[in-house]
A and B are shown apart, each in its own frame.
Chain A
Amino acid sequence: MPQTTINEILNKFDIRDADIKRIRGAAPVLKRELDAFIADFYTWMAQHREYQTFFASNPSRLDRVKQLQRVNWNTFLEADLNQAWFDARKHVGAVHAHIDLPNDIYFAGMAVSTNLMADRLRKAKGEVKDLDDTISSLTKLMYLDAFVVIEEIARINREKLSAGAKALMEMSTPVTPIWEGILLLPLLGILDSQRTQDVMNKTLSKIAETRAKVFVMDISGVSSMDTAVANQLLKITKATQLMGCETILSGLSPAIARTLVELGVNIGEVRTTATLRDSFELALRAVGVDRKLIATG
């Protein structure tokens, strides 16, 4: 993250040099109280079910997390708001994303931490100058800390979602060679423009790769058909034709046939069959499989 971006973020959170100076001024008091502060935090945490989920069965994990928290708060109070400070917060976010920590307990924990620190500053009133302003500065930095952590969690979740969507797209267009020179694509569910585009790209590259002569597109699992989808499917048949590969559309239900006719979609010279079996037979004949083999098979 470049310094200009860091400065922009600090400006948004209204964190000025005076705030950093005040936090650093209060740091000796809070660092002295850090063990007691962490103990209070886990007393609060123990009242919530997340404590049971994450720590009850694993006391060594609790010790490790307390140790990490000590390091985290030390760097927080040093308020050296550089790349390393942001990276450390992002790491916290990555850990929280990994263990799937609920947002409510995280935000509640940050609020409790802010109050616990403010209480300690109030008790050490004589040692801290400008108490109210210091608590205000501390709160701003807490918000910034929470933002960086949550932003990292959101980024990781976005990545997971995008990877999931990509995997789903891969699975939804399984163009498979089923015989020498024959490709089959069983289509299921809803066809939209993005998916038909994906079908087109996958089919053409698979034809180029396998040098297939016949492409059987089975639409018996397609839930609905409208003019746009029908035209997209026809485009795919024309595209395969330009690669020397004939498309057979199989699995046309009576309802889809009726819809196509009523919508006035002209399917032209595209070969269609009601069942996948019929398409397969046509495809085998097209690639020159012996008629007797088909009859006995």
Chain B
Amino acid sequence: MSVPGTTSVTGTRVRGCLVVTVSQDLSGDMLDEVRRVALEGIQRDGAQSAIFELSAVPFMDSMEFGELRKIARMAEMLGAKVIFVGLKPGIIVHLLEADADVRGVHAFLGLDEALHAIDSSPSPDAHG
């Protein structure tokens, strides 16, 4: 099931998880669009987890990364565990050079690995 959105940010539901795919850099209104697609999708579908698929994002500065993390925290407040996927090595080097706070970020190289990790992690219900 797809969440309505623009062509640059799309939300797709995969096995109970909302995959938010960003297909260009995060400047301009893109972050607002990511926030809208992610939060509305989680609320509507009751997704337990959300994946931010960023492999098509060519560059990202520490402010944009900080904003993404804020969106991730908002998603977590709505009850979804957030995973970042596909960050390019060049972006990672830049973020660390800029002393971006990456503590507690859950990240994977590819969508397969992220979905596998979600499938194998215990569901919130298991903890009561």
**Contact in complex: A242, B110 (CB < 8 Å):** no
Q: Contact flags (1/0) for A261-283 with B, using CB distance below 8 Å?
A: 00000001000000000000000
Q: Is B44 on the interface with A (CB-CB < 8 A)?
A: no
CA of A29 to CA of B95 in the docked complex: distance in angstroms? 72
Task: Tell me the chain A residues, 53-86 only, with Cβ under 8 Å from chain B.
Answer: none
Residues on A with beta carbons closer than 8 Å to the beta carbon of B93: 200-201, 204, 239
Residues on A with beta carbons closer than 8 Å to the beta carbon of B107: 241-244
Residue of B nearest to A206 (CB): B89
Q: Is A214 on the interface with B (CB-CB < 8 A)?
A: no
The answer to whether residues A211 and B109 also contact, given A238-B102, A268-B103 and a CB cut-off of 8 A, is yes
The answer to whether residues A244 and B89 also contact, given A238-B96, A239-B96 and a CB cut-off of 8 A, is no
Q: Contact flags (1/0) for B87-120 with A, using CB distance below 8 Å?
A: 1010011011000001101011110011000000
Residues on A with beta carbons closer than 8 Å to the beta carbon of B92: 204, 239, 242-243
**Contact in complex: B109, A244 (CB < 8 Å):** yes
Q: Is A208 on the interface with B (CB-CB < 8 A)?
A: yes
Residues on A with beta carbons closer than 8 Å to the beta carbon of B87: 242-243
CA of A205 to CA of B109 in the docked complex: distance in angstroms? 11
CA of A239 to CA of B65 in the docked complex: distance in angstroms? 14
The answer to whether residues A241 and B102 also contact, given A201-B93, A204-B92, A235-B96 and a CB cut-off of 8 A, is yes
Q: Contact size class for A?
A: 10 to 19
Residues on A with beta carbons closer than 8 Å to the beta carbon of B84: 242
The answer to whether residues A244 and B96 also contact, given A211-B113, A238-B102 and a CB cut-off of 8 A, is no
**Contact in complex: B102, A243 (CB < 8 Å):** no
The answer to whether residues A243 and B96 also contact, given A207-B109, A238-B102, A268-B103 and a CB cut-off of 8 A, is no
CA of A242 to CA of B109 in the docked complex: distance in angstroms? 8
**Contact in complex: B96, A201 (CB < 8 Å):** no
Residue of A nearest to B103 (CB): A268
A13 to chain B, nearest CB (A): 47
**Contact in complex: B109, A243 (CB < 8 Å):** yes
16 contacts between A and B (CB under 8 A): A200-B93, A201-B93, A205-B89, A208-B89, A208-B109, A211-B113, A235-B96, A239-B89, A242-B84, A242-B92, A242-B95, A242-B102, A243-B87, A243-B92, A243-B108, A245-B109
Residues in A lying within 8 Å of B, measured CB to CB: 200-201, 204-205, 207-208, 211, 235, 238-239, 241-245, 268
